[in-house]
Each structure stands twice: as C-alpha cells, then as structure tokens.
C-alpha cells in the first residue's frame, strides 16, 4: 500500500506534465520535427515549436487555432501567412533568418500576441516572443560553460527619490566577489534599449555568460555590472511619467546606492557606462554631462552626433560643425577629450545605420581614445550587442 501511494503520487505529477506537454502543441501528441529542425533555445522547456533548422536558418512556427480565420507570424520585418490543416493547427516555415536573437509576434485575426510556446522577453514595451537562430562554436562565448566559475546576477530594489518609487535593477558580481571580502571592484553601468527593461542584458544578452568567460580567461578585469531600467517607472498610484530624466536617477539615486551596497571603487577612473540603441544615447548624455563620474563609455548601435530635430528647410550641419558642437562641444579639443576620457567605444552591426563616417571624422579630428567595432552580418538586434559587449568589456579599467 505505502509503495503504491508513493509511486502513484510520482506518476500523477508526471502525467500532469506530459498531458500539458501534448496540450500546448495543438491537442495532439508531439509529432517528430521535420529533418534538421530543433526546438528554439528560447522556448519554454516543454515546447517543440518554434523550431529552427540551423543549416538553412529557416524557422518553423505552429499555432493551434481551430476557429481563427487568419493566423500570421511577424518576424524580422515580414508578415507570413500561416497555413491551416484540417485540425485547425496552423504552421509556416519562414525565409532564412540572420543568426542571433529575434523578437517576433503571432497575429491571431490581426491581433498581435505573444506566442505561448516561448519564454517572455520584454521588448517594445510588452512581453514578447523570442527565437534564436543558433551560431556555431563562434557563439560559445555567450553560452553557459560548466567548466568555469560563475558570477551572480542579483535582483535589487532601491528607493529613488527622483522617481518617487522603488526601482528594480540587476547587479552582476564576478565569481570571486564573495571570496575576497576586502577587495573593491570597478563598475560598469550597462543600459538596455527602447522598449526593453533591466532584464534585457541578462535574458536576451546572456551578459552573465559573456562576463564569466571574459573574467575566467583573464581577458577582462573582474568588475561589477549594474543594469538599471532606462525608463521612469510608474505604479498604479503614480502613473504619469516624472518630468525628470533617467540621467538624474542614475547620478543622484542609483550610483550612491550601488556604492553604499557593493564593494565598489568609487573614483571616475573605475566607473564606466555603456548602452545599446536608446541606451547609447542615454550613455552619452549621462557621461558627457557628468565627466567627474565616468572615464569610460560605450555606445552600441546608439551613437549619433546630430541630425535629429531639424525642420524641413534647415540646412544640415556640416561634419565639422557637428564635431564642434555635439554634446556641448566635448569633441572640440581632441587632446582635452583624450585626457578626460579613457575610451569612447562605438559599435554597430553591418546591416544597420552606420556611424562609421562620424567615427572617422572624430579620428581625423585627432581623437585617439576611440574604438570602432562592427558586427558582421547583423542588424539592430541582440547578437550585435552581445558581440559589442564581448569586445568592449576587456578594454575597461586597464
């Protein structure tokens, strides 16, 4: 009797799980995937779909929607009509995709929704679906490596007077942090892009794996990495955005909190900031307005010296005008810039708008502490930014 109760309890748990497993795939037992296709690494742990063919880089989607009239997948700027079978299960195979992480959505009768088969990735200000077209061994740097020590990403709430609310941030500490209770560490503040949040670098970016690898191999010095949110936060009682900008939150609330809570080095030579896309803009605004606090900066797919805000008929400023005036004239005197800032790292993917011309002009103007990095074959997406971080972090605090 006792053995029966025990065994049956275990079986019961398994039964629930496998019933669910079948259920989410369209009410049937899971069918074998077509030759060459494997579940995407972004799927929830029971989901076969979406599936990816790593050779052809095609993606296979599947949605169970018996009474819908039109089911589509929106991926990388293209909307695919899915095809219905007699059971009401809709599928499609996409064009070959660029390697790396892509947000996507499913459209059920023209309503964009998250695909319930994937984990949630906050993007475009909602919880989005994600799919990963895998790289080969060249992507190992952002994968989990069981043979090296691992840092921790700590979920932290701090009170922001400026925001008027508690704010959530994530703080990476290197593996050695706890075994060196007297040691102090330099700090990189690392920002996400528009519509994303402070979890982006952890979930979409795999920054923990990247930093673990760089530190374990001695390429990067052990450092703390702080990932805060790039938006003014709200709650049900405080729904309207504050008129302050996030730079003020970083400088007045976040940095003092981090320096009080972690064993940081607190001088400007040991503090860096970097961000992607809008986070790159926020980085330049924050660092160039607070040069007493930062000596290193990186802007991944987010650097521009001008061009916004012109009215039709305005004459575009020349490159030399831009260099003279951008960011309150920080580039005007190149040797003063190099004395003040140890590194301005500017990166981009080759398949997106390039700041290369501006970087070349800054170099020609005489600025030396500038590094330009291009990610081959990638666009305004996370693989570009994983590669940027992997190239940027080893240059810091040396």
Residues 160-199 that bind a copy of itself (CB under 8 A): 166, 170, 181, 194-195
d(C-alpha 340, C-alpha 298), whole Å: 15
Name the token pair of 200: 């982006």
Task: Tell me: does residue 277 bind a copy of itself (CB under 8 A).
Answer: no
Tell the smallest beta-carbon distance from residue 301 to a copy of itself (Å).
Answer: 15
Task: Tell me: does residue 79 bind a copy of itself (CB under 8 A).
Answer: no
Task: Tell me: does residue 56 bind a copy of itself (CB under 8 A).
Answer: no
Contacts of 152 (CB under 8 A, 6+ apart): 172, 173, 177
Candidate residues 76, 251, 265, 327; the one interacting with a copy of itself per rule CB under 8 A: 327
Report the site for a copy of itself in 112-131 (rule: CB under 8 A).
112-114, 116-120, 122, 124-127
Q: Which residue has the tokens 């009080």?
A: 260
Name the token pair of 271: 């503090």
Task: Tell me: does residue 313 bind a copy of itself (CB under 8 A).
Answer: no
Report the site for a copy of itself in 363-392 (rule: CB under 8 A).
none
Candidate residues 136, 137, 309, 313; the one interacting with a copy of itself per rule CB under 8 A: 309
Task: Tell me: does residue 38 bind a copy of itself (CB under 8 A).
Answer: yes
Task: Tell me: does residue 4 bind a copy of itself (CB under 8 A).
Answer: yes
d(C-alpha 303, C-alpha 170), whole Å: 24
Tell the smallest beta-carbon distance from residue 199 to a copy of itself (Å).
Answer: 10
Contacts of 171 (CB under 8 A, 6+ apart): 153, 154, 156, 224, 225, 226, 227, 258, 262
Contact between 331 and 323 (Cβ < 8 Å)? yes
Task: Tell me: does residue 321 bind a copy of itself (CB under 8 A).
Answer: yes
Is residue 50 helix, strand or coil?
coil
Task: Tell me: does residue 81 bind a copy of itself (CB under 8 A).
Answer: no
Angle subtended at Cα 173 by Cα 256 and Cα 389, rounded to the nearest 5 degrees: 95
**Which span sits near a copy of itself by CB under 8 A: 102-110, 266-274, 360-368, 370-378?**
102-110
d(C-alpha 358, C-alpha 353), whole Å: 12
């Amino acid at each position: 009797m006792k053995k029966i109760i025990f065994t049956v309890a275990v079986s019961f748990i398994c039964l629930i799980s496998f019933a669910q497993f079948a259920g989410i795939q369209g009410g049937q037992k899971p069918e074998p995937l077509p030759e060459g296709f494997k579940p995407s690494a972004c799927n929830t742990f029971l989901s076969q779909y979406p599936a990816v063919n790593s050779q052809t880089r095609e993606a296979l989607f599947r949605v169970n929607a018996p009474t819908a009239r039109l089911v589509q997948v929106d991926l990388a700027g293209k909307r695919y009509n899915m095809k219905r079978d007699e059971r009401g299960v809709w599928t499609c195979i996409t064009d070959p995709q660029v390697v790396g992480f892509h947000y996507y959505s499913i459209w059920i009768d023209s309503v964009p929704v998250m695909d319930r088969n994937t984990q949630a990735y906050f993007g475009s200000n909602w919880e989005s679906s994600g799919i990963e077209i895998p790289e080969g061994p060249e992507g190992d740097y952002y994968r989990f490596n069981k043979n090296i020590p691992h840092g921790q990403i700590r979920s932290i709430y701090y009170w922001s007077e400026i925001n008027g609310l508690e704010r959530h941030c994530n703080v990476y500490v290197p593996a050695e942090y706890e075994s060196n209770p007297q040691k102090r560490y330099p700090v990189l503040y690392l920002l996400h892009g528009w519509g994303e949040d402070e979890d982006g670098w952890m979930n979409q970016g795999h920054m923990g794996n990247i930093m673990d690898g760089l530190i374990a191999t001695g390429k990067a010095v052990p450092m703390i990495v702080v990932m805060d949110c790039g938006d003014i936060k709200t709650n049900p009682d405080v729904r309207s955005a504050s008129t302050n900008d996030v730079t003020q939150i970083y400088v007045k609330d976040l940095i003092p909190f981090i320096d009080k809570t972690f064993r940081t080095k607190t001088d400007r030579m040991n503090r860096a900031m970097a961000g992607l896309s809008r986070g790159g803009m926020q980085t330049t605004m924050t660092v160039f307005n607070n040069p007493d606090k930062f000596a290193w900066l990186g802007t991944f797919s987010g650097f521009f010296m001008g061009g916004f805000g012109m009215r039709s008929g305005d004459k575009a400023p020349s490159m030399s005008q831009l260099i003279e005036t951008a960011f309150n004239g920080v580039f005007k005197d190149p040797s003063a810039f190099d004395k003040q800032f140890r590194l301005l790292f500017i990166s981009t993917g080759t398949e997106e708008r390039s700041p290369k011309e501006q970087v070349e002009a800054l170099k020609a103007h005489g600025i030396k502490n500038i590094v330009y990095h291009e990610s081959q074959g990638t666009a305004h997406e996370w693989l570009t930014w994983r590669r940027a971080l992997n190239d940027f972090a080893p240059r810091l605090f040396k």
